[in-house]
Amino acid sequence: MNDATILVIDDEPQLRRALKATLTDLSYSVMEAKSGEEALEKLRHEPADLILLDLNMPGIGGLETCRAIRENSEVPIIILSVRNSELDKVQALDAGADDYVTKPFGIQELLARIRAAMRRSPSAVEHEAQIFRHGELEIDFTSRRVTLSGNRVRLTPKEFDLLRFLVGHPNKPLPHRKLLQAVWGPDYGDEVEYLRVFVNQLRKKIEPTPSKPRYLLTEPWVGYRFAAGGDESGS
């Protein structure tokens, strides 16, 4: 069914064993780490296709582990945590996570989140151009490569998919729910904080002046819009 490798990072041995048994039964390959330090060492020698990361761990902790992984990898990361506040979720997403699952969780919910994190959204439009250029921004959709003023910009998979969908509907206000379901999947729609964090991350990476965005504009109470005609209003 699956040939992906999942790294489970959690200091609870019972949870690691349960996840390994379930994921192995579904033909995933599973690696385990009981701390952030152990996980980072393992990733130096063997890459993973997806990471399940606990926030509350001894040592460097989940947030710092997430940031460290993001320095060198675009691998999808799902946070597992007993914390359920919006602030906790925003901090995790801002650290580079793709999704956030609150403990205790049902295994079917987690499996759905794994599929969502590993999916690549379809082309935003039926006949999508292979390369998009606008001002100093260039996007190669085939190689998933983004450059700004000739310099390579590293995006996570979900950042790229969100940017591609916005670019595919230029100058059109896109509602939060539509963006979430297009990029994360049909089970999403209320996670507006995801978009807020990811758009802010994209602005830091592709906007010449992130505080005065030229490309990624906010549509108050609606969603976001990619300005392809020189419209620099919005923030």
Residue 54 pLDDT > 90: yes
Could you identify the residue written with the tokens 């969603």?
Answer: 223
pLDDT tier at 58, thresholds 50, 70, 90: confident
Q: Quick one: CA dihedral 27, 28, 34, 38, positive or negative?
A: positive
151-91-81 Cα angle (round to 5): 125
Residue 121's pLDDT is what?
55
Query: Within a 10 A sphere around the Cβ of 117, how many other Cβ atoms?
Result: 22
CATH homologous superfamily, domain 5-118? Response regulator (3.40.50.2300)
Residue 131's pLDDT is what?
87
Chain segment 87-113, per-residue pLDDT in tens: 999 999 999 999 999 999 999 999 999
Give the residue extent of every domain in the chain.
5-118, 131-226
Amino acid in position 57: M
Chain segment 137-167, per-residue pLDDT in tens: 899 988 889 999 899 999 988 999 999 999 9
CA distance 90 to 80: 14
Chain segment 110-125, per-residue pLDDT in tens: 999 999 998 875 544 4
Residue 77's pLDDT is what?
96
The dotted CATH code for 131-226 is 1.10.10.10
**Long-range contacts of residues 228-233, Cβ cutoff 8 Å, at least 24 apart:** 228/134, 228/167, 228/170, 228/171, 229/170, 229/171, 231/171
Query: Within a 10 A sphere around the Cβ of 234, how many other Cβ atoms?
Result: 16
